[in-house]
Structure 1
Amino acid sequence: MKNTLDVVSQQFERQAVRIATRKRQSHPLAPQPNETVYLIRKGLFLARIPMPGDQHHILSILYPGDVIRSNALRPLEGADILTASETGEAWRLRWSAVEALAREDHGLECQLFDSMADLAARLALHSAITAGLTGDERVAAMMIELALRTGKETHSGLTFEMPLSRIDIAEYLALNADTVSRIASRMRSNGLIAQSSARDHLACRSLAALEDACPLAPALRRLHAAPVQPQLAI
């Protein structure tokens, strides 16, 4: 069975505006009447909203295959998606075009529903993480999420993407940026994470040890787990 990215890409291909992105590039989520939909094709993106005092709050990390509809964030004016990776690709369509395609293809309609339901479940879990866990547990939760989503086995262990800045992490986890730095230093000292030789990547010798640092690790695994991709070396 084809995955969400394959199925949705095949149907969106003719009508989508393809956007090759660079790091920190922002894309507005236009509300009605010209509502937009983005399909994440390559790289990691951040769904965020503006907050008072020129601050932002990051709602979710977006991965290839995710579909985000601006109307889902209708009460939150100024919502956008921000490119986190050095390079990426997103496809943009009007919601009216997506609706027309979904009416013609029941399989596409199901894939879109599943993708949006998955994103809603991730938002709910993230809300529970930021509301109920300590700072150390929140950072561990984010590391687990990225490891499960982007991890690749190497000779030195599991290597995963970490394109988020210290401020991005603070905005995602509702923490102070200095607190994030202290927690990350403790995790390095405890051997939970290490800097990878690859740019914007971290290494994890034991995912099980990292999961032991977060009480919601089983829920994260149910939502984010995917087959780990083998790779010779980084």
Structure 2
Amino acid sequence: MTYRPSFRLGEFRANTPQFFLPNEEGKTVLYTYIRKNACTSFKRLMLMKARRRVWRKQPDLRKIREFRVKPPVGHFDHSIFVWRDPFERAVSTYVNKFVQRSGNEDIFNSFQDVTGKDPISATFRDFIDYLQNPFSKLDPHAWPQKSHLLEIEYSFPIEMKELARVMREEFPSIAPYFQKPVNKSSQEAELEGDLCDVPANDITISSSENFSDVRSVVEEIYASDKEMISEIRSVQSGMIC
């Protein structure tokens, strides 16, 4: 299936990195980079294929700039972006950056600048308050997924949970990089009940269900993503029928 995004006048647009993925299928594969949507797997692929390898715990986008392309991108055989439920993505961002404190310097600075609160003890509800500010003031991890997209026909809008399967079927030469989740933040919850008002530094383990009381608020913030996903699923349903 394909998906071509359309944008309303004044809708927030991100200045997002675009890449041509190295592969042995002989195809020009355009990839739109979206944080928290399996982007680490794509970065590791490009880092391993780069002419000059630089081993780091967190692959740096500057080390894979040989694969980067600036719009307009010209010819390509396929185009890819990965999407996921916006509530699950918001929870993953909070857990990864505020609870696990992985690669969090930029978002911590942004959170503190925007809210005036200490990110160390930020609750999920505090994080949601942060998300309700204009997207232009937020860290890129908090930008809507749709905002990263180019106004092109995407041949593979891939739901994140289907990424491993799609890569195996369509791009087997690079599929091994996508078989296991990298930078995974979801866990089996040992705690029952609501954690929305528990400080991040008091949370040891959680799942999205522990934050579901504010799902509707998150979905309202990311209404453009919900609309995008609805359009993609509508096309998929039509193909099945």
Alignment TM-score, normalising by the size of structure 1: 0.25
Q: TM-score, normalised by structure 2?
A: 0.25
Between Structure 1 and Structure 2, the one with more strand by share is: 1
Of structures 1 and 2, the one with the larger relative CO (CA 8 A, separation 6+) is: 2
